[in-house]
Amino acid sequence: MNDHAVVVRLRQAALELASASPDEKLTVSSICAAAGVSRDDFYSATSNPIQLLGEALSDELLSALAQAPDEMPQGERLRISLGHVARWNAIYRGPLHSELIASLQKTLFAALRSTNEEFRRRHPDLLPDGVSADDDFAISFLASYMAGGSIASIAFWLEDADADIEGDIDRIVELSRAVAPGFMAPLWSQS
């Protein structure tokens, strides 16, 4: 079995085990048994079960976002991200929450920042006053600012014990649209 196949099997096993029993601790032994690989294979692919699970969740989210067309509005991209969180909410809200939320935040931040930057570069006419199309720092700063706000909001959503993870997605998209600065409004509706 090649290295890529081992990683795929390990990540799939970690996701299956964590979703079947989100309150149980993931172990190297349980993941290796479920994946049908050795401990040596495990340690050749990753350093620990939490990292492996975080990578598996991140890969799934990035794969879903990569399938979105470039012209997809930000609200729909956010909906994809929120759908991922809702699908795996038992894992994200479980005992591994603090370790996994860091992985989720890193993945989402990079994906949302990239989307925002690409949009701004394709539409320099929509940059705020005082920001020119060749000001890479300003464009990256603005994209990071917007991505950071989204990440903080998603973390709040996961930590709110009363949140309706499945039912809140439309509301969160609309709240995010409502608080976006005026210069970001086109990102929610244009390509």
Contact 90, 120 (CB under 8 A): no
Predicted confidence at residue 189, as pLDDT, reads 67
What average pLDDT does the segment 117-128 reach? 82
Report the 10 Å Cβ neighbour count for 158. 18
- The per-residue pLDDT for range 155-172, each reduced to its tens digit, is 888 888 888 887 889 898
- The per-residue pLDDT for range 31-81, each reduced to its tens digit, is 999 999 999 999 999 888 988 898 898 888 888 888 988 778 778 888 898
Indicate the CATH number of 50-188 among 3.30.420, 1.25.10, 1.10.357, 1.10.10.
Answer: 1.10.357
Tokens 């495990």 found at: 42
Question: Does 113 or 188 have the greater pLDDT score?
Answer: 113
